[in-house]
Amino acid sequence: MKSIKKSDKKTFSVENERKKMLQEFCKRVNLKFNDLSVLDLAFHHRSVTNELHSGNNERLEFLGDSVLGMITAAYLYKNINVSEGEMSKIKSAVVSEKSLAPIALKLGLDKLLILGHGEEKTGGRQKPAILADCMEAVIGACYYDQGFFAAEKYVLSFMIPKIESYLNDGEKDFKSILQEVFQQKYKICPVYELKGISGPEHDKTFEMVVHLGQKTYGPAKGKSKKEAQQKVAKMALDSLKD
Is 65 annotated in the active site? yes
Report CA torsion sign: 177, 183, 186, 192: positive
Is 180 annotated in the active site? no
Q: Are 102 and 66 in contact (CB under 8 A)?
A: no
Active-site option among 61, 136, 152, 227:
136
Rounded-to-integer distance, Cα 174 and Cα 182, Å: 12
Rounded-to-integer distance, Cα 176 and Cα 181, Å: 9
**How deeply is 176 buried, as exposed, middle or buried, from its count of CB atoms within 10 A (0-12, 13-18, 19+)?**
middle
Rounded-to-integer distance, Cα 167 and Cα 73, Å: 15
User: What is the rounded end-to-end Cα distance, in angstroms, of the chain?
Assistant: 82
Rounded-to-integer distance, Cα 121 and Cα 206, Å: 21
Active-site option among 65, 110, 133, 145:
65
Active-site residues, by number, are 65, 136
